[in-house]
């Protein structure tokens, strides 16, 4: 307990090397909490600072933590082409409301190798005119790759935006067989 009689949330983290660069994974006792692209030292420190401020607990580096071990194993298997679906408990506490509803639908309803349009995803959650709001939800996704916002594309066939950068989105879609492998 902290000095105010509240239970502190334990947050553990590790950086995992992948084909799209280092990913920061952070977890709590509830499950995987955050995945951050391009986790260089500066990006990592900024992300950990945001988590500390938001959750009131200083994240602890713990790559061998039981809270992270399975997430690390599954992320590595995904990038090795040996895993198509993540089966992890997720801590949704960094997202709420419409964004959470959309992200949960995305996680459960858009499988590996498939894509969905922003408007189609909006319709799936009962808000068919909310395509732009779905785009905002994708940008606020605290669990990219695991909650596959890279699978959300534009209606006209464009790949749309992506918080990890368009090259990262292309690589993820190529890994899943949706796009050809980038030539360079």
What 3 state SS string does the chain have?
A: CCCCCCCCCCCEEEEECCCCCCEEEEEECCEEEEEECCCCHHHHHHHHHHHHHHHCCCCEECCCCHHHHHHHHHHHHHHCCCCCCCCCCECCCCCCHHHHHHHHHHHHHCCCCCCEEHHHHHHHCCCCCCHHHHHHHHHCCCCCCCCCHHHEECCCCCCCCCCCCHHHHHHHHHHCCCCCCCCC
How high is the pLDDT of residue 5?
Answer: 39
Tens digits of pLDDT across the chain (184 residues): 444 434 456 899 999 999 999 999 999 999 999 999 999 999 999 999 999 999 998 999 999 998 899 999 999 999 999 999 999 999 999 999 999 999 999 999 999 999 999 999 999 999 999 999 999 999 999 999 999 999 999 988 888 889 999 999 999 999 999 988 666 5
Active site residues: 149
Is 21 within 8 Å of 65 (Cβ atoms)? no
How high is the pLDDT of residue 6?
Answer: 42
How high is the pLDDT of residue 168?
Answer: 95
How high is the pLDDT of residue 117?
Answer: 95
How high is the pLDDT of residue 3?
Answer: 43
How high is the pLDDT of residue 155?
Answer: 85
Distance CA 82, CA 112 (A): 12
């Amino acid at each position: 307990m902290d000095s105010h009689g509240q239970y502190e949330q334990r947050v553990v983290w590790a950086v995992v090397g992948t084909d799209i660069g280092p990913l920061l994974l952070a977890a709590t006792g509830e499950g995987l909490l955050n995945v951050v692209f391009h986790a260089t030292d500066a990006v990592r420190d900024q992300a950990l600072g945001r988590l500390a401020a938001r959750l009131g607990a200083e994240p602890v580096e713990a790559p061998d933590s039981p809270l992270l071990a399975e997430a690390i194993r599954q992320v590595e298997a995904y990038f090795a082409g040996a895993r198509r679906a993540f089966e992890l408990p997720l801590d949704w506490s960094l997202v709420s409301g419409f964004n959470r509803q959309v992200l949960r639908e995305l996680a459960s309803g858009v499988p590996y190798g498939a894509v969905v349009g922003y408007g189609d995803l909006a319709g799936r959650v009962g808000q068919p005119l909310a395509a732009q709001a779905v785009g905002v939800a994708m940008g606020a996704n605290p669990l990219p790759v695991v909650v596959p916002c890279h699978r959300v594309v534009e209606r006209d066939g464009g790949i749309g935006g992506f918080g990890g950068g368009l090259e990262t989105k292309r690589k993820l879609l190529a890994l899943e067989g949706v796009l050809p492998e980038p030539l360079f």
